[in-house]
Each structure stands twice: as structure tokens, then as C-alpha cells.
Chains A and B, each alone.
Chain A
């Protein structure tokens, strides 16, 4: 499973762009039932990069994340990831309903054996980062969908992940909440500089968040489009209404139409 990472920027030139934290090389996945999920996927994600994969439903996007986080095995090709600290945000907030917000945020650290006092410190910081101050003692059933997702984000942040995997985290939220969380995620990414791999159906969300957008075909999933997003780290809320933004969305949309055929 170990592979060389020769074709990336981090060659030997001495430039201090860090080595990729996540590398897929000729990755393919055929499930035991014969479903061909992924076909020859190769790309890398470096620290500070935000890569988003868009594609039709059931094209194997989520499988990619499950492989990266070792939830799924039995693939062929290479997958190399900095396993020390993976953050994983699921489609659903997956909060434990019997724990308060604070105790949910502490969960990952708790399961990693982080001491009680340090846990409390880190979770307080994470709760502040996702703007959940004042809700620490609520139970998940008292939270809105957006707040649940923030709580889920904070739970991953507590581990200071160097690789952050997002499996359509905002898909179930309404448009306004989704955009607000996009803004916040962007801000988080700017300060924490993790390597992000994000899965979504929404082209606008992909373009708004990412430094790079990959378009995946219908099953078996292949990369059929690769776009560098030209906008800088500072992205105001109304970037979404700029012509350049719309133009890029349009091109990705065309690719996606092909992907469905």
C-alpha cells in the first residue's frame, strides 16, 4: 500500500510547500458483491489545500473518504494518509443523543485517552471556534440542524486534525444555514490549515470552499474534471454572485452533465 509521491510539488526543490497529507494513487475499489465503485483515482491533498469532489449520487465519492479513513479496505492501488489525526465529518451530525454538547465535543479526545483537564480546555476552544458558546449543556435534540453540525465539527477539531474529511456534511441543511456554515468552515480552514477533502452535491458550495474541485463520473467513479479555483483565501459572502464564480460553476456543471451520461 505504500507508494512514492514523486509527482507532487514537494519534490526536492527546497520550496517549503509541505508534503501531501493525503495521496491516492491509481486507487480502484470493487466491492465483494461486484459493484465497481472507484476506478483509477489519483490525486493528492496538501496542508492548506481544500479539495472538493463533486459527482452524481452513488458514484463512490463517500467510498473515497471511507478508504482514506480506513473504514473501508480491500481496494487496489495506493492510499497514503497522515493517520495521526484524521477529522471525519459525516453526512449526519452523528452526535450521541445522551451526551450534552460539551460531552459530545469531548468524545473524540476522550476516546483517544486525552486527560480530563486537557479535554475540557480543548473542547472549550473548539466550542468557541464553531460559535456554540452558551449551548454547552444542551442535548442534541434541543439543537437545530446547523447547530448539530457545528457541534460535530467541533468534535473533530478537538483532535487538531491535519487531514479533514467531509462527507456531504451540509447536505441536509437549508440554503442560508449551509452558506453561513460554509463561511465559517472557510475561516476555520484559513486558521487551522488542515488538508481538506470535501464531498458535496452542490457545485456552488464546492467552488466557494475549495482551492481545487474534482468532478467524478457515475459508477465506476473516475476523475473527469479538475479545476483550480482562482479565488484567494479571503472569500467574502457575496463572492457567490460574481460573474467569475458563476462561470466556473457553469463549467463544472457541464462536466457533471457529462458525468451523468
Chain B
């Protein structure tokens, strides 16, 4: 009788657990709901990849539905919103020809990738330095912060052509566009990390009579790494956008995917190409985001609580 009660109790707890976990925003926990009765608790391949796959199918279904219902004539549809399979056939295929399809798109992607990575690296280095300076004094923080906000809020589409007209079609200007859009989350997150260093840790360092640089190097910077990593992950997505926006306005030198998208937008018949380019560019952003996440996880998994769950 007792054993039976215990057994029942255990089962209740097991059933309850996934629902409690589901109240968090963690994606893994949410997938756990769908597998309450399954032996794998949402950690298997199926639990991980099935939900987003279903969403993709629904999305493509709506796309087909709209393309079919909204346009009376085939040429109207093709010039406005081609079917997904047309994007694949005309945009991505054939794979073997260097002057069309995915090979051509990837050729245009490469300069964009370079500008994104270089611009992101510059944003990280300069952003962290700016945050350190802002952390050194309240007045520095007050002096710099409004302009960090402006860098983020300035309409990047308006300023980019201006920059090209003033400074010319140079790599430096493309990097500046990426920097302008990507540096803000780096600055704010790093500053937040530096400023939320544990007060008792500060006392500990004070007791040891350390100077400002030792404090920065051995206490404040390491403790701000999780926040910095969050900033980098946000900046990664923005850097990709910045690089593509820059591509739109640069006609000299290595032409990027933004140039490809802009040119293929002009002729309506090129719509599948343009969509294929856009999809490739977004996938690049996703890959960058995943890489940044993986680096974060690797960097802090040993010691930081948040590193227990992947994202």
C-alpha cells in the first residue's frame, strides 16, 4: 500500500516537472511539454528539431496559400511573390554555374562576410574600451552615453549614402556603418557587466590593496564576460544588417550581397534571385548568431550558471 502510494507520488512529480519548467522562457523547457509522455524528455533530436520544422512547414504553407490566392495571373505572382519552389529552382539552382544560382550568391556573400566579421571585431574592441572608460568615471559615462545612443538610433539608411558621398566608396566607410549599428549593445552590456561586479568582491580586492588596473583585469573584466557575450550575440545580428545596408550603397570594389539584392530587385523577373539572396543573407546571420552562442557557451560553461542550458 505504501509502496503504491510512493509510486503514485513519484509519477505525479514526474508529470508536474515539465509543466513547471515550461513557465520559463527557455526553448528547451518549452519543447519538453510536447514530450511529457515520451521517454526522451525533449532533449532528443526529435524534441529539439521537430517544433521548428513544423513552424517552417506552416510558414511555407501560408506562403503558397497567399501566392495562389492573391494574384490572378501567373506573371503577376511571379513578379511579386513567386512560389517557394520557384525561388529554389530559379534562385538557388543550378548549383554548378558560377554566374547564377547559389554559386553566384555565395560569390557576393564573401565580401559581406568579410565586412561583417571585421566590423564586428572592431566594434567589440572599441566597444569594450569605451565601456571601460565609461566605467572609470561617472562624468565619462555621462559624456559618452548620449552619443552611444545616437549611434544606435541614427537612421542608418539615411546616413550611409551620406558617408559614401563624403568619404567615398571605401572599405573604411563600410566598416564604419557596421560599427555604428553594432557597437551600442557591446557598450551597454559590457558597462552593465562592469558596473554589476559584486560589492563584496570589490571589498576583497580593496583589502588586498590593488590598483585600478589589477581590479579591472582580474575582477571587473572577468565578471563582465557573461554580459559582454550577450552584447556580442546581439551585435552579431546587427553587424550582418549593417554590412548588407552598406552593400546597398557601394558600387566600387568588392560588391556584396546587398548590391546583388538591390540590383535583382529592379527587374521584376529577377524576384526569385533576389529572394534567394535575401534568404542566404539571413541564414548567414543565423549562422553568426549560433557561432556567437556556441563561443559564449564554451567560454563560461564551467563557471556561470546560465551556461547550464544551451540556447
| Residues on A facing B (Cβ under 8 Å) | 69, 71, 86, 88, 90-92, 94, 96-99, 107-108, 111-112, 139-141
| B200 contacts chain A at the CB level, 8 A cutoff | yes
Decide yes or no: A98 and B225 within 8 Å by CB, A111-B208, A140-B303 being known contacts: yes
Contact (Cβ within 8 A) B203 A90: yes
Say how far B227's CB is from chain A's closest CB, in angstroms: 13
| B201 contacts chain A at the CB level, 8 A cutoff | yes
Contact (Cβ within 8 A) B201 A141: no
Decide yes or no: A71 and B207 within 8 Å by CB, A96-B219, A98-B223, A140-B303 being known contacts: yes
Say how far B44's CB is from chain A's closest CB, in angstroms: 27
Question: A96–B204 Cα gap in the complex (Å)?
Answer: 10
Q: Which residue of A lies closest to B219 (CB)?
A: A96
Contact (Cβ within 8 A) A111 B205: yes
Interface centre among A69, A98, A107, A112, by most chain B C-beta atoms within 10 angstroms, is: A98
Contacts of A141 in B (CB 8 A): 303-305
Query: Which residues from 179 to 194 on chain B have a C-beta closer than 8 Å to any C-beta of chain A?
Result: none
Contact (Cβ within 8 A) B201 A96: yes
Contacts of A99 in B (CB 8 A): 303
Q: 10 tightest CB-CB pairs across the interface, nearest first?
A: A111-B208, A97-B303, A139-B303, A94-B200, A98-B303, A98-B222, A90-B200, A139-B302, A111-B210, A88-B207
| B298 contacts chain A at the CB level, 8 A cutoff | no
Interface bracket on B: 20 to 34
Interface centre among B207, B210, B218, B222, by most chain A C-beta atoms within 10 angstroms, is: B207
Contacts of A111 in B (CB 8 A): 205, 208-210, 214, 218
Contacts of B203 in A (CB 8 A): 71, 88, 90, 94
Interface centre among B225, B302, B303, B304, by most chain A C-beta atoms within 10 angstroms, is: B303
CB<8 Å pairs between A and B, sample of 12: A69-B207, A88-B207, A90-B200, A94-B204, A96-B219, A96-B222, A97-B223, A98-B225, A98-B304, A99-B303, A111-B205, A112-B208
Contacts of A139 in B (CB 8 A): 302-303
| B26 contacts chain A at the CB level, 8 A cutoff | no
Say how far A72's CB is from chain B's closest CB, in angstroms: 10
Question: A71–B203 Cα gap in the complex (Å)?
Answer: 7
Q: Which residue of B lies closest to A109 (CB)?
A: B208
Question: A91–B206 Cα gap in the complex (Å)?
Answer: 16
Contacts of B222 in A (CB 8 A): 96, 98
Q: Which residue of B lies closest to A111 (CB)?
A: B208
Interface centre among B203, B206, B208, B304, by most chain A C-beta atoms within 10 angstroms, is: B208
Question: A71–B207 Cα gap in the complex (Å)?
Answer: 7
Question: A99–B222 Cα gap in the complex (Å)?
Answer: 10
Say how far B154's CB is from chain A's closest CB, in angstroms: 36
Question: A98–B205 Cα gap in the complex (Å)?
Answer: 15
Interface centre among A94, A99, A108, A140, by most chain B C-beta atoms within 10 angstroms, is: A94
| B198 contacts chain A at the CB level, 8 A cutoff | yes
Question: A141–B302 Cα gap in the complex (Å)?
Answer: 8
Contact (Cβ within 8 A) B201 A94: yes
Interface centre among B203, B300, B304, by most chain A C-beta atoms within 10 angstroms, is: B203
Query: Which residues from 264 to 311 on chain B have a C-beta closer than 8 Å to any C-beta of chain A?
Result: 300, 302-305
Say how far A91's CB is from chain B's closest CB, in angstroms: 8
Per-residue interface assignment for chain B, residues 204 to 240, with 1 indicating a CB less than 8 Å from any chain A CB and 0 otherwise: 1111111000100011001101000000000000000
Contact (Cβ within 8 A) A86 B223: no
Question: A139–B209 Cα gap in the complex (Å)?
Answer: 25
Contacts of B207 in A (CB 8 A): 69, 71, 86, 88
Question: A107–B223 Cα gap in the complex (Å)?
Answer: 15
Contacts of A96 in B (CB 8 A): 201, 219, 222-223
Decide yes or no: A97 and B200 within 8 Å by CB, A69-B207, A86-B207, A111-B210 being known contacts: no
Question: A163–B201 Cα gap in the complex (Å)?
Answer: 20
Contacts of B204 in A (CB 8 A): 88, 90, 94, 107
Contact (Cβ within 8 A) B219 A71: no
Contact (Cβ within 8 A) B208 A108: yes
Contacts of A71 in B (CB 8 A): 203, 206-207
Decide yes or no: A97 and B304 within 8 Å by CB, A71-B203, A90-B203, A111-B218 being known contacts: yes
Contact (Cβ within 8 A) A92 B303: no
Q: Which residue of A lies closest to B307 (CB)?
A: A141
Question: A96–B225 Cα gap in the complex (Å)?
Answer: 13
Contacts of A140 in B (CB 8 A): 303
Question: A108–B201 Cα gap in the complex (Å)?
Answer: 12
Query: Which residues from 155 to 198 on chain B have a C-beta closer than 8 Å to any C-beta of chain A?
Result: 198
Contacts of A108 in B (CB 8 A): 208
Question: A111–B206 Cα gap in the complex (Å)?
Answer: 10
Decide yes or no: A92 and B219 within 8 Å by CB, A69-B207, A98-B303, A111-B214 being known contacts: no
Question: A94–B223 Cα gap in the complex (Å)?
Answer: 12
* Of the residues A88, A94, A98, contact of B198 by C-beta under 8 Å: A94
